[in-house]
Amino acid sequence: MHRIAIIGASGFTGAEFLRLCAGHPEFEVVVATGESQAGTCVADLYPSLAAAYPEMVFAPYDPSILEGIDLAFMGLPHGHSQALVPQIRGRVPHIVDLSADFRFDDPAIYPEWYGEAHAAPDLLGDFVFGMPELFRDRLPGAELVAVAGCYVTTASLTLAPLLAAGLIEPTGIIVDAASGVSGAGRPPKPNTTFCAVDEDFTAYGLLTHRHTPEIEFAIGRHAGTEAQVLFTPHLAPMNRGILATCYARATTATSTEALRDVLHQRYDGEPFVVVRDIPPSTKATLGSQQVHVTAWADDRTGWVVAMASLDNLTKGASGGALQAANVALGLPEATGLPTVGLHP
């Protein structure tokens, strides 16, 4: 049994960590921190977790609470992990970080896309990118894992095989994606209240969204080429889920069958990726670790349309972190992860 700490457990991704760890036969959550909720019972903030954690209380963070911990999941906002990882490293054998703080090995990316210099640039090269379907070979035994984000996972899993196979151009790729409101986190914001979101559909972060270089990095690194992406995220009036519609120029005349053949060849052996012949839906993946992907070739325009859907809190965040942790710890990759979605 591996003793687990969740640093930043009071947010939505933290609650998802707690939910998934409760069903993991090899994980025991020993510590759950939450600065804004310190002293609050987990069951009071999230009644859905009452049966699994009836006595657990969110604790304030202190490095001393990590004594005897085997793995720390970090579910903190961007910027916070940069300060904590140098404190935690050496105390805990494995750290799996959900934030964007360590996804790149080039510190120059951070001031350009995140607005400030990286606080621990010397650690960037030590992290492994946590997307097993594309970068599994570096994960076994990894001490430090930076998990791909929800938008990045969705877009990359549908585009990367097509780019690697030479079926689409590496430049001029368009990613048009919509996310549920839980992606904005638990603390209320003026643009994420019920009255703001209900009956509305909005774009945000146009041209400058920080997940743009992450998508370029993931698909380009997997395919062994430089990639260029125009990414536009949208906020959809739903709790959970992401749907990404991606457009790329075909390198040569191709067919829908050829595109899907590549996706099948890449993913038919994967436990959490399903290649479909119909457009994916967010509800089909709700509460599960599944990603649904597909693609079409448009003979008339010469464009390829590739689509994917997933649950932004499960596969797109905490479930993705558990999957990467399983690989790092040498456990069966699918351990503790739901493969069937909720419906209705």
Per-residue DSSP letters for 148-172? --HHHHHHHHHHHHHHHTT-B-SSS
Of 41, 150, 195, 246, catalytic: 150
**CB distance 56 to 32 below 8 Å:** yes
**Whether residue 195 lies in the annotated active site:** no
Please report, to the nearest 10 degrees, the dihedral formed by the alpha carbons of residues 264, 268, 273, 274 taken in order: 70
DSSP secondary structure code for residue 186 in this structure: S
- The pair of structure tokens assigned to 179 is 């996310």
* Length of the chain (residues): 344
**Cis peptide leading into 47, omega within 30 of 0?**
no
- Radius of gyration (Cα) for the chain, nearest Å? 19
Q: Where are the alpha helices (DSSP H) in the chain?
A: 12-22, 42-45, 80-88, 109-113, 132-135, 150-164, 194-197, 211-223, 256-267, 319-329
3-state secondary structure of 110: helix
| Residue listed under structure tokens 């990045």 | 152
Residue 304 near residue 168, CB atoms below 8 Å: yes
User: What is the C-alpha separation between 325 and 142, in angstroms, rounded?
Assistant: 9
Kindly list the catalytic residues. Answer: 150
